Structure 1
Amino acid sequence: MWPFAILLYAIAVIGFSGANTFYDALLVIVAPPNKRHRVSALGFALGYLGGGILFLVNVLMTLKPHAFGLADAAEGVRWSFISVAVWWTLFSIPLFLFVEEPLPKAGRRRVNFQLTFTALATTARSISQYRNAWIFLLAYWLYIDGVDTIVRMSVDFGLSIGLSSDHLITALLLVQFIGFPAALVFGRLGERYGAKRGIWICVWVYVGVTIYAFFMETALQMYILAAVIGLVQGGIQALSRSMFSRLIPSEKNAEFFGFYNVVGKAAAVFGPVMMGTIAHLSGNPRLGILSIALLFFAGMFFFRLVKDSY
């Protein structure tokens, strides 16, 4: 069963990544430049709210299956997968029905998957002609790697220092529900003061998060950490997307956002490897989480060179 499960997971990741590429590219179509920070933030905010609600329901289905008419926790997990599929399908319908997308100037073309890597290299060369966007992507690759590492490794880190799974689930829910209003606030902040300032704030907060996590010992401290992460996680994601949309030509938005998402996915590899390696060699998981601060500092080094287009 494991090979089949791995295959399903791979298909899901490909579908999710591909959908995000086109979804992000639609930002240029549905929002004028002066509204993109707010619209991008609204998208992430609603995503955190919806994801938090569904995650809470799925947790309850697993912990209290009899309340949902289910036999046991295993059946709760199975129905959780079904509920996610239904949820995604229902909330995708308005996008398919009501968002109009203009056809490319060249019209419809057949997709040749054999040329995928060639096209990726061509896109990289094309983006390099836009110095501001290229430097931004380099900075983004570094600091979003730090963000993704904290997201992906937080549960493992919490378990390694002795926190229970119940405490960690509560912390994850805190991130989701605090992320909803916080993302909206950062959308307004980006609209008023520029995305660059908002991202600066978020990155510095994440530096503080890694330092705080190094000293963390109790569940209460974990909740505080989760609340702080919730305050900035949606903000840094939303403002990064909207800022990039204003650094690229609109006629290349789908192509460039495809590369933007490739950069984001590639970034998800280095951070966890670095954190795990340092934790293993030192025998101290706290040093592993502290090392993530290096990614944020490196990201800020390049990010300071990016000119904000407001």
Structure 2
Amino acid sequence: MNKKAIHSWVMYDWANSAYATIIMAAVMPIFYSEVAGKHLDSTTSTAYWGYTQSLSLMLVVLFSPVLGAIADSINGKKRFLRFFTILGVMATTCMFTIDEGEWLWASLLVILGTLAFSGANTFYDAFLSDIVPEHERDRISSRGFAFGYIGGGILLALDLCLIQFHNFFSFTKVQATQIAFLTVAIWWWVFSMPLFRHVQEKKRQPRHASPKQLTQRGIHSVIHTLKSIGKYPELLKFLIAFWFFSDGINTIIKMATIYGVEIGIGQTDLIAALLITQFVGIPCTLLFGKIASKWEAKPTLIFTLIIYLIIVILGYFMTTSIHFYLLAIMVGFVQGGSQALSRSIYSRLIPLKRNAEFFSFYSLSGKFAAILGPAVFGLVGQWMGSSRAGIASLALFFVIGIIMLAKVDVTKGKAESAAADTSHLVM
């Protein structure tokens, strides 16, 4: 293994987790509710935040499979990763300009930033198969998420100090929060540099074609993948399971903070609890990587999803900041492990020769599902007049996901993907 390339790949998780932590989970949801959505009632601002997340993910669903297929055909994973990283950095920089009542501007920038964040992750994930041998993927994938927790957690702690002690820096709280958004953009860009310098994708003979031809070829490849995915029954079962449980996980990440604002938990408690989540997640993500190497990845993943189901049930009854702290610790315990193990299991089930294309489908499956979760959360909340019913609705996603995942035979799935690679070589 190329240790420098692996460390550089891991550092990208450190870089972009600042966006996931501060924009998607911790600071922006509070800012959206209290500043950008100042003239909206709390349930409406929560719903609008959910719709914003759903729309951004809908765009990811439309673009990522085609982009992945094109990237495979032109050895272009790194170029697409760089493009989406720059786009995300620019969108996050513009969040510095969001002011009171500008919920629509905030939504547009979050949609653009989340599109870029998710698009970049499609190509970042696809490098795992290029640079890490199969027997090391659980460990390296878990290390990536652990570094993400560290990086996101450090910047969140710094930004929490900036916001909490804004008077010391001669800022208003709004100005301090706007500067926090700017720090995310800088952090994301600076710590992405090692990957762009040291990680190389496996080269294949490029296919020279015009942008129009590449797009047509990409669309054709996606259609071909949709038709051929039935040849990988275990992969298909895993994708369906992932569709459900990933929806539940993503909705918790994106809606927990604004839900806490709605039920009256203060900003300091909300951000501090999410900071705890980050640092609980560091050792626990590594721990689950080691457990999976001894206990196998699938049963370990199922265990983390059962914990999530318990979190959702307890979240319905949450009323105080102490409750939020306890649930944040539980989320930190399983969040990184569940995501890392999902990624490593999936990497075993796909044909190696088409990994960027199939990782786009991985992104597609999760993001398509994630369109539904925040939207259901918002719709149920508006319908019932409270978001408690919205949080309870997530239990169904985890129950179905667990049942479907239990039916996946990973060993058989590996054989199916290996057979596909062999037939590809024969052809």
Using structure 2 for the length normalisation, give the TM-score.
0.67
The equivalent residue for 1:73 is 173
Counterpart for residue 114 of structure 2: 13
Paired with 1:196 and 1:65, the residues of 2 have a C-alpha distance of: 46
- Which residue type is aligned with residue 216 of structure 1? M
**Among 54, 62, 80, which residue is 2:155 paired with?**
54
Q: CA deviation at 1:202?
A: 0.8
Aligned partner (choices 279, 290, 297) of residue 177 of structure 1: 279
Q: 1:111 to 1:57 in 2, by over 3 A?
A: farther
Question: Which deviates further from its counterpart, 158-167 or 216-225?
Answer: 158-167
Of residues 9-18 and 236-245 in structure 1, the stretch that sits farther from structure 2 once superposed is 9-18
Letter in 2 for 1:286: R
Where does residue 258 of structure 1 map in the other structure? 360
- 2:135 aligns with 34
Q: Does 1:89 align with 2:189?
A: yes
Where do 5+ consecutive residues of structure 1 fail to align?
none
Give 1:204 deviation, angstroms. 0.4
How many residues in Structure 1 have an aligned counterpart in Structure 2? 309
SS in 1 for 2:192: helix
2:222 to 110, 114, 120: 120
CA displacement, residues 1-40 of structure 1 (integer Å, 9 cap, x when unaligned): 8576555444322321221011100111121111101100
Alpha-carbon distance in 1 for matches of 2:395, 2:106 = 34
2:127 & 2:370 partners in 1: Cα distance?
23
Q: 1:114 to 1:32 in 2, by over 3 A?
A: closer
Distance in structure 2 (CA, Å) of the matches to 1:122 and 1:14: 25
From the superposition, tell whether residues 109 and 177 of structure 1 become closer, same or farther in structure 2 (CA, over 3 Å): farther
Identity of aligned residues (%): 38
Partner residue of 2:200 out of 80, 100, 109? 100
Asked if the contact 1:124–1:259 (Cα under 8 Å) also holds between the matched residues in 2, the reply is no
Tell me: CA distance 1:198–1:268, structure 2 relative to 1, closer, same or farther (3 Å): same
SS at match of 1:65: coil
The superposition leaves residues 16-65 of structure 1 with CA deviations (integer Å, 9 ceiling, x where unpaired) of 12210111001111211111011000000100110011112122222223
Q: Give the C-alpha shift of residue 104 in structure 1.
A: 3.0
Alignment of 1:262-273 (within 5 A): 262-273=364-375
Alignment equivalent of 2:392, drawn from 290, 294, 297: 290
Q: Is the 8 A contact 2:289 2:341 kept in 1?
A: yes
In 2, Cα distance between equivalents of 1:143 and 1:118: 29
Instruction: Kindly state the Cα deviation for residue 95 of structure 1 after the two structures are TM-superposed.
Output: 0.9
CA distance change for structure 1 residues 240 and 163 in 2, over 3 Å: closer, same or farther?
same
Displacement of 1:161 in angstroms is 2.5
Q: Is the CA contact (8 Å cut-off) linking 1:194 and 1:308 kept in structure 2?
A: no
| Contact in 1 for aligned 2:146/2:282 (Cα 8 Å) | yes
Q: Which amino acid letter does the alignment assign opposite residue 11 of structure 1?
A: L
- 1:133 alignment partner in structure 2: 235
Equivalence for 1:208: 310
Cα drift, residue 127 of structure 1: 2.6
Task: Name the aligned partner's letter for residue 295 of structure 2.
Answer: Y
Instruction: Specify the SS of the correspondent of 2:350.
Output: coil
Q: Distance between the aligned counterparts of 2:306 and 2:182, measured in 1?
A: 39
Q: CA distance change for structure 1 residues 271 and 187 in 2, over 3 Å: closer, same or farther?
A: same
Question: Offset at 1:154?
Answer: 0.9
Please give the root-mean-square deviation of Cα atoms over the aligned residues, in Å.
Answer: 2.2
Aligned partner of residue 52 in structure 1, secondary structure:
helix
**Amino acid of the structure 2 residue aligned with 1:282:** M
Shift of 1:300: 1.5
Report the alpha carbon displacement of residue 71 of structure 1 after superposing the two structures with TM: 3.3
Question: Structure 1 pair 79/287, CA: closer, same or farther in 2 (3 Å)?
Answer: closer
Structure 2: gaps (5+ residues): 1-97, 415-427
Partner of 2:81: none
The answer to whether the 8 Å contact 1:35/1:191 transfers is no
Aligned to 2:410, the other structure's residue is in SS state: coil
